[in-house]
């Protein structure tokens, strides 16, 4: 890290060392660019570190649905529910919530499902290709995934989505109780059945995957600078200056992948702030004494259990509050009791709780595009629950934008201007 005010010239500076930023940096390095990654924290220390590890083909739907909206009052009163909004955060949530409700209208919702599916259905192939370049293929697998139900009502309600999944090419089927237990013998005997996503996958160490990307980047000559980015400004037709706490960097292009901090770094470029802090919790169980063969989502409380290199990870709660508020680790620990209803032999000794901050946009789509008020400034953030899943396809999209090639997916729905832009006519 530079300790003077010297300026260092680079082709591309990537701001953010989570899984999206590191994926973009690696893809750009493979495509021939000189790359520097900047983050105030060590790489893969934010929300990417605690990802559930489930590469879910089911996630073609934005997380907010009309059904969820109807259940919202009940969910907010449920101390063990999957969703919490802190009262002190309601003021910031109000405009975000109005946008989220607007996105549930039939026409925009159909557009959003189509857009999100264009990323999700291309994600695993892109992820496998990128991981292979960092000797990380052993961390990815494709055993499928299950959503398991204990009640017939919830099971039948979820089956209504099966025709839509199939329309987008997702292989999905319903399983009887007996077939589900044959696939996952550790599950409780009182389950009703499951929905099986044949080609969903798993990353057995999300943090380890990103760190292998970083190792490959360093081997190939890329730099990692750990420092806080204060601002980014254009100082020439094809030159940017990034001001850090202790130095300045120069480059011809900048990619912003700073998660929930991205809004602040876009100040002055005309975009209306749209991100909120959606904090996620997980519980890592090192010796669970039960074996799952694939990721399993527990349908009624809706959280996932994923077998990992270091044990079993329970993940899936959402808490909307200020990013720097003290963590409420009871949100992690409650997953233990909920999981025991589905995994009766579960041992949670030495379980480790964790919290990370997801960057959430109201329509459930990430922001991927190019800043109009600056030549050579790009962004990719707000992936919410799909950061790991869509990291590599996002990297291909950003590399295509920089090279002025046709991206592998239509990026119009992901343009940040969809939330308003003060510089538009």
The predicted-structure confidence for 237-287, as pLDDT tens digits, reads as follows 889 999 999 899 999 999 999 998 999 999 889 898 899 999 999 999 999
130 in a structural domain: no
Whether 225 and 253 share a structural domain: yes
242 in a structural domain: yes
Percent of the chain with pLDDT over 70: 92
pLDDT value, residue 68: 60
- For residue range 62-77, what is the model confidence (pLDDT) as tens digits? 887 666 665 556 656 5
Residue 339 sits in a domain of what CATH number? 3.30.9.10
Q: Is the dihedral of CA 58, 62, 63, 69 positive or negative?
A: negative
Residue-number span of the structural domain to which 332 is assigned: 62-103+138-202+276-360
- What is the DSSP code (8-state) at residue 384? G
CB contact at 8 A, 181 and 191: yes
- For residue range 121-148, what is the model confidence (pLDDT) as tens digits? 999 999 999 999 999 999 999 999 999 9
Whether 193 and 231 share a structural domain: no
Whether 339 and 238 share a structural domain: no
Closest C-alpha to 147, from 78, 74, 80, 200: 200
From 311, 331, 360, the end of a domain falls on 360
Whether 284 and 295 share a structural domain: yes
pLDDT value, residue 318: 86
pLDDT over 80 at 223, yes or no = yes
CB contact at 8 A, 305 and 314: yes
pLDDT value, residue 49: 92
CA distance 340 to 396: 40
- The predicted model gives 328-337 an average pLDDT of 93
355 in a structural domain: yes
176 in a structural domain: yes
pLDDT value, residue 423: 53
Closest C-alpha to 228, from 81, 39, 424: 39
pLDDT over 60 at 409, yes or no = yes
The DSSP line for 183-205 is: H-TTS-TT--EEEEETT-EEES-
Whether 231 and 247 share a structural domain: yes
pLDDT value, residue 8: 43
119 in a structural domain: no
- The predicted model gives 47-53 an average pLDDT of 93
- For residue range 100-118, what is the model confidence (pLDDT) as tens digits? 888 888 899 999 999 999 9
Report the chain's mean pLDDT, rounded to a whole number: 92
From 360, 385, 402, the end of a domain falls on 360
Per the structure, how many domains does the chain have? 2
The DSSP line for 38-56 is: EESS-TT-SGGGG---EE-
pLDDT over 80 at 171, yes or no = yes
321 in a structural domain: yes
Residue 13 sits in a domain of what CATH number? 3.50.50.60
- For residue range 82-93, what is the model confidence (pLDDT) as tens digits? 778 888 888 888
254 in a structural domain: yes
CA distance 139 to 208: 8
pLDDT value, residue 2: 39
From 318, 341, 360, the end of a domain falls on 360
111 in a structural domain: no
Whether 195 and 309 share a structural domain: yes
Whether 98 and 223 share a structural domain: no
CA distance 392 to 164: 24
């Amino acid at each position: 890290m530079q300790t003077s005010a010297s300026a260092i010239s680079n082709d591309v500076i990537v701001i953010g060392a989570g899984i999206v930023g590191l994926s973009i940096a690696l893809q750009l390095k493979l495509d021939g660019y000189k790359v520097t990654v900047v983050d105030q924290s060590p790489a893969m220390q934010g929300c990417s570190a605690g990802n559930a590890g489930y590469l879910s083909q089911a996630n073609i739907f934005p997380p907010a649905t009309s059904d969820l909206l109807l259940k919202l009052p009940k969910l907010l009163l449920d101390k063990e529910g999957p969703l919490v909004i802190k009262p002190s955060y309601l003021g910031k949530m109000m405009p975000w919530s109005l946008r989220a409700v607007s996105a549930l209208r039939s026409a925009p919702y159909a557009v959003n499902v189509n857009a999100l599916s264009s990323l999700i259905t291309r994600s695993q192939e892109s992820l496998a290709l990128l991981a292979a370049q960092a000797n990380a293929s052993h961390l990815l697998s494709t055993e499928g995934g299950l959503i398991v139900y204990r009640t017939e009502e919830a099971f039948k309600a979820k089956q209504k989505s099966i025709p839509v999944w199939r329309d987008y090419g997702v292989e999905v089927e319903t399983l009887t109780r007996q077939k589900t237990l044959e696939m996952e013998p550790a599950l409780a005997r009182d389950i009703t059945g499951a929905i099986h996503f044949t080609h969903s996958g798993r990353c057995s160490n999300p943090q380890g995957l990103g760190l292998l990307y970083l190792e490959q980047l360093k081997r190939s000559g890329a730099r990692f600078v750990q420092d806080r980015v204060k601002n980014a400004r254009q100082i020439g037709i094809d030159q940017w200056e990034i001001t850090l706490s202790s130095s300045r960097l120069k480059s011809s292009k900048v990619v912003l992948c700073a998660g929930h901090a991205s809004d602040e770094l876009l100040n002055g470029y005309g975009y209306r702030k749209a991100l909120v802090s959606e904090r996620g919790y997980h519980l890592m169980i090192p010796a669970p004494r039960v074996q799952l063969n694939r990721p399993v989502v527990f349908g009624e409380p809706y959280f996932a259990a994923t077998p990992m290199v270091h044990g079993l990870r329970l993940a899936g709660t959402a808490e909307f509050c200020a990013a720097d508020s003290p963590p409420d680790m009871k949100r992690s620990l409650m997953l233990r009791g909920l999981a025991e209803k589905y995994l009766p032999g579960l041992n949670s000794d030495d379980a480790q709780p964790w919290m990370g901050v997801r960057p959430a946009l109201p329509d459930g789509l990430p922001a991927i595009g190019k800043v109009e008020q600056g030549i050579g400034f790009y962004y990719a953030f707000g992936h919410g629950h799909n950061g790991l899943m869509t990291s590599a396809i996002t990297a291909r999209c950003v590399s295509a934008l920089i090279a002025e090639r046709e991206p592998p997916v239509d990026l119009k729905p992901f343009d940040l201007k969809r939330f308003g832009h003060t510089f538009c006519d």
